[in-house]
């Protein structure tokens, strides 16, 4: 059986991406990619639960992909974060963003940005196993089901 290659490694190889020290990335850059990673994980799980209309898929997805739920999730995960992960989260949460959420408080939006920064950081370190673990635990701790 052929060994699986991580998406990140495959993308870096196929598009000749340069090696970069991600510790120098701004927290908003990390949140930018982390938002996509979180969305991809949730959408993958939702689609994996069965084929249905796009409207129904979207309805299931938005329960998870919003600032309020993400803020609640990261609050529930605080005790499980390593020191390094907590530091990345705080950097993201405290970053000054030019945008705000339409349907969330400023506090929830900032916490969600911190969570996205953490997920982006982990993804760029090729630690998708940890990304998935945190999302799974967050969903479980909130008593949600997809």
Which residues are CB-neighbours of 92 under 8 A, at least 6 positions away?
27, 28, 30, 31, 34, 113, 114, 115, 116, 117, 118
Task: Tell me how many degrees the CA angle 38-43-49 measures, rounded to the nearest 5.
Answer: 135
Active site residue 35: yes
E-only strand ranges, 1-141: none
**Residue 43: its H or E element:** helix 27-48
Per the residue annotation, which of 35, 108, 126, 129 is the catalytic one?
35
Which residues are catalytically annotated?
35
């Amino acid at each position: 059986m052929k060994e699986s290659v991580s998406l990140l490694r495959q993308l870096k190889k196929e598009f000749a991406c340069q090696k970069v020290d991600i510790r120098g990335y701004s927290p908003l850059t990390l949140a930018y990619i982390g938002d996509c990673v979180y969305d991809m994980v949730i959408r993958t799980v939702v689609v994996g639960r069965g084929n249905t209309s796009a409207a129904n898929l979207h309805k299931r997805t938005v329960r998870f992909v919003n600032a309020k739920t993400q803020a609640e999730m990261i609050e529930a995960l605080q005790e499980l974060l390593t020191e390094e992960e907590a530091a990345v989260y705080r950097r993201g949460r405290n970053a000054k963003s030019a945008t705000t959420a339409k349907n969330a408080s400023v506090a929830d939006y900032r916490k969600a940005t911190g969570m996205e920064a953490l997920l982006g950081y982990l993804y760029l370190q090729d630690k998708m196993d940890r990304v998935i673990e945190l999302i799974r635990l967050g969903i479980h701790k909130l008593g949600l089901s997809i």
